[in-house]
Amino acid sequence: MPHPLPSSTWPSAATAAQSALFSSLHLGALELCTRTWIPAMVPWRATEEGLVTPQVLDWYERFARGKPGAIVVEATGIRDVPSGPLLRIGHERFVPGLRELVEVVRRASEGETRLFLQIIDFLRIRRRVSAERFLGEFLGLREEHFAALRDLGRAVDDEASARSALLALSSEELARVLSPAEHRELTHGARETVNDLHLPHVAELPRVLPTLFASAARRARDAGFDGVELHYAHAYTMASFLSRRNERNDGYGGSARARVRLPLEVLAAVRAAVGSDFAVGARILSDEIIDGGSRLEEALFYARELAAQGLDFLSLSRGGKFEDATQPKVGEAAYPYTGTSGHECMPTVHVSPGTPFGRNLAHAAAIRAHLRSTGLSTPIVAAGGIGTFDLAESALASGACDVVGMARASLADPDWSAKVRAGAGAEVRRCKYTNYCEALDQRHKQVTCQLWDRAHDAPLAPGTRVARSVDSRRRLTAPPWERTSAEADPRG
Ligand SMILES: Cc1cc2nc3c(=O)[nH]c(=O)nc-3n(C[C@H](O)[C@H](O)[C@H](O)COP(=O)(O)O)c2cc1C
Ligand code: SF4
């Protein structure tokens, strides 16, 4: 049975004005007007070259009209390499488009919303190929393969006979002949990891990443952002350094202290590049969820190390790893938001055991308490199934977090903040937490919310045009807020 959406009492405008959620907060040298925060969400609207498009501008303009305390712009690549329609900031040519994005958000929020750019590095991942192609072409044959085939009674003396024999093996036999990494590549597609020290570009990550992140952060500052969020979470390079599965033996893996070394070096380089009046935060996992992965225990240590080095905010997420992703179809790449860890990252109403609503707050509370007990006041941003005023307010009141992240709730209704603040919370178009949006992200399709079209069946006024997805079936931004109730009585 799906979990029913929690009921909520929505505050009057006067009550909202007195609430913790709509109170201000210092974040380093910055002030957030309110504690509502839209975490990073990739909408698949950049050009193939990673440039800002009019659709990217529309996407962020629409969020900014709701005047949340902060918006984190989607994961943006720090390298100057092709990576599909994901934003990039690996070169100066990306700065003008990003500057326009900043200006659009400033205008639409009337200067109220602080804007951060999430900056990311990721390793190569390839689509899964058919067994015929993998065993017949791609697999590099080694002496061990020949020996294992002979052990199974196959007569093999050259490459052609070995490949034919491999193709005739059962899946159990293949699991015995191939190494675990090769078998994973066969079943899930090739994927580089930070442990691949035999690959020169993986071995050199600790040498190149501090400069790449620092240059990206400096460009973000030049473009006018208020700060950057270092993406140290989910399935990507920096989170893989923090993972307990990081087995590097070059001083950057093995122990927790060695695993946090590169994230600290990146933070130091970024800080040196942008100065102290530009916010530098990070997003980490409070639990990787996967077998053999980092747990809360490590997250406490990483949070303390990063905070002690002057992080301006710490945003928390959970899961979202490749290691337990479900098997992709042939022709598709593994997607880290499937599998158990993926379901923890974007919990749906079908999650079990436990509730999806405020699912990550216990871990956030533990990390925040740990920082406070060591004298560190770094603001904590929590997210995960928070979509009601009551839950947001209680998360703040209980000390689980200082700022409330609402990703899908804001996607469903970008006016969430404006409505609740105005005493019109009953008009919020509430997220159903069934992940239609995530399924689009998985297929690299333009992300939209399934409620936008339903909520806007009414015919449009003559001459009005709504931007639609490439298949022209879905609107690309949320419908406007058509106020149905009078502004609430300010007496509450
Ligand atoms: C379509 C979509 C794209 C996302 N892209 C990112 C991303 O670029 N970076 C990131 O850290 N998290 C990303 N997330 C995860 C969200 O930031 C958030 O952590 C997650 O959805 C749980 O919060 P929620 O329950 O408020 O939605 C994405 C989520 C969705 C639904
Ligand atoms: S598509 Fe579904 S899960 Fe995603 S924001 Fe809309 S209602 Fe929420």
Of all ligands present, the nearest one to the C-alpha of 448 is 2
- 348 C-beta closer than 6 A to ligand 2: no
In Å, the largest CA–CA distance within the chain is 88
Nearest Cα neighbor of 406 from 417, 420, 418, 397 is 417
Return the HEC string of the chain. CCCCCCCCCCCCHHHHHHCCCCCCEEECCEEECCCEEECCCCCCCCCCCCCCCHHHHHHHHHHHHCCCCEEEEEEEECCCCCCCCCCECCCHHHHHHHHHHHHHHHHHCCCCCEEEEEEECCCCECCCCCHHHHHHHHCCCCHHHHHHHHHCCCCCCCHHHHHHHHHCCCHHHHHHHCCHHHHHHHHHCCECCCCCCCCHHHHCHHHHHHHHHHHHHHHHHHHCCCEEEEECCCCCHHHHHHCCCCCCCCCCCCCHHHHCHHHHHHHHHHHHHHCCCCEEEEEEECCCCCCCCCCHHHHHHHHHHHHHCCCCEEEEECCCCCCCCCCCCCCCCCCCCCHHHHHHHCCCCCCCCCCCCCCCHHHHHHHHHHHHHCCCCCCEEECCCCCCHHHHHHHHHCCCCCEEECCHHHHHCCCHHHHHHCCCHHHCCCCCCCCHHHHHHHCCCCCCCHHHHHCCCCCCCCCCCCCECCCCCCECCCCCCCCCCCCCCCCC
How does residue 455 score in pLDDT terms, banded at 50, 70 and 90? Answer: low
CB 37 within 8 Å of CB 72: yes
- Distance from Cα 348 to the centre of ligand 2, integer Å: 10
Amino acid residing at 212: L
Q: Which tops the pLDDT comparison, 262 or 191?
A: 262
Residue with tokens 């996967």: 290
At residue 105, the pLDDT reads 98
Q: Are 477 and 59 in contact (CB under 8 A)?
A: yes
Residue nearest to ligand 1 atom 10, measured at CA: 40
Of 445, 417, 455, 462, residue with least CA distance to 21: 417
- C-beta separation of 321 from 235 below 8 A: yes
User: Mean pLDDT across the stretch 114-135?
Assistant: 94
Q: What is the pLDDT of residues 45-92, one digit of tens each?
A: 999 999 999 999 999 999 999 999 999 999 999 999 988 899 999 999
Q: Whose CA is nearest to atom 8 of ligand 2?
A: 431
Decide: 437 in ligand 2 pocket, CB within 6 A.
Answer: yes
For ligand 2, pick from 451, 452, 453, 456 the residue to mutate: most ligand atoms within 8 Å of CB. 451
Q: 484 or 68: which carries more pLDDT confidence? A: 68
State the pLDDT at residue 190.
86
Q: Looking at the predicted structure, is the pLDDT value of residue 315 above 80?
A: yes
pLDDT for 459 beyond 70: no
User: What number does the ligand 1 atom closest to the CA of 118 have?
Assistant: 9
Residue 177 near residue 149 (C-beta atoms within 8 A)? yes
Of 72-81, 119-128, 139-148, 466-475, where does mean pLDDT reach its minimum? 466-475
Say how far apart CA 268 and CA 285 lie, in whole Å: 20
Distance, in Å, from the CA atom of 149 to the CA atom of 142, rounded to the nearest integer, reads 11
Written as six digits, the tokens of 428 are: 């919020």
Cβ–ligand 2 distance for 412 under 6 Å, the answer yes
Q: What is the mean pLDDT of residues 110-135?
A: 94
Tokens of 131: 């067994």
Locus of tokens 């992200």: 441
- pLDDT score at 460: 57
Averaged pLDDT, 265-282: 98
Token pair, residue 475, equals: 């609107």
Nearest ligand by distance to the CA of 86: 1
Q: Whose CA is nearest to atom 4 of ligand 1?
A: 41
Q: What residues flank ligand 1, with Cβ below 6 Å?
A: 39-42, 74-75, 118, 231, 233, 283, 317, 346, 383-386, 405-409, 437-438, 441, 447
Structure confidence at residue 485 (pLDDT): 57
Query: 52 CA to middle of ligand 1, Å?
Result: 20
Instruction: Please state the domain extents for the chain.
Output: 13-124+197-434, 131-188
Convert the pLDDT of each residue in 367-405 to its tens digit.
Answer: 999 999 999 999 999 999 999 999 999 999 999 999 999
Mean pLDDT, the chain, as a whole number?
94
Residue 320 CA to ligand 1 center (angstroms) comes to 10
Q: What is the model's pLDDT at position 469?
A: 87
User: Is the pLDDT reported for residue 484 higher than 80?
Assistant: no
Buried b (16+ CB within 10 A) or exposed e, 138-170: ebeeeeebbebbeeeebebeeeeebbebbeebe
For residue 54, the model assigns a pLDDT of 96
Predicted local confidence at residue 457, as pLDDT:
52
The topology (CATH level 3) of 13-124+197-434 is TIM Barrel (3.20.20)
Alpha-carbon separation of residue 41 from 45, 216, 388 (angstroms)? 11, 19, 19
pLDDT tens track for 144-188: 999 999 999 999 989 999 999 999 999 999 999 999 889 989 999
Answer yes or no: is the C-beta of 434 below 6 A from any ligand 2 atom. Answer: yes
408 lines ligand 2 (CB under 6 A): yes
Rounded Cα gap, residues 200 and 442, in angstroms = 30
Nearest to 32 by CA among 41, 22, 18: 22
Task: Please enumerate in sequence order all residues whose Cβ is within 8 A of that of 89, keeping only pairs 6 or more positions apart, or say none.
Answer: 76, 77, 78, 95, 98, 117, 119, 216, 219, 220
Q: Is the model's pLDDT at 473 over the cut of 60?
A: yes
The values of phi and psi at residue 468, to 5°, are -120, 160
- pLDDT recorded at residue 453: 86
CA–CA distance, 255 with 127 (Å, rounded to integer): 32
Categorize the per-residue pLDDT at 422 as very low, low, confident or very high, splitting at 50, 70 and 90.
very high
- What's the pLDDT at 380? 98
What local confidence, expressed as pLDDT, does residue 324 receive? 87
Q: How much is the pLDDT for 461?
A: 59
Which pLDDT band holds residue 333 (cuts at 50, 70, 90)?
confident
* Most ligand 1 atoms within 8 A of CB, residue of 5, 38, 42 to mutate: 42
- CA 56 to centroid of ligand 2, rounded, Å: 19
Place of tokens 């990891």: 193
Mutate to test the pocket of ligand 1, among 41, 78, 357, 406 (most ligand atoms within 8 A of CB): 41
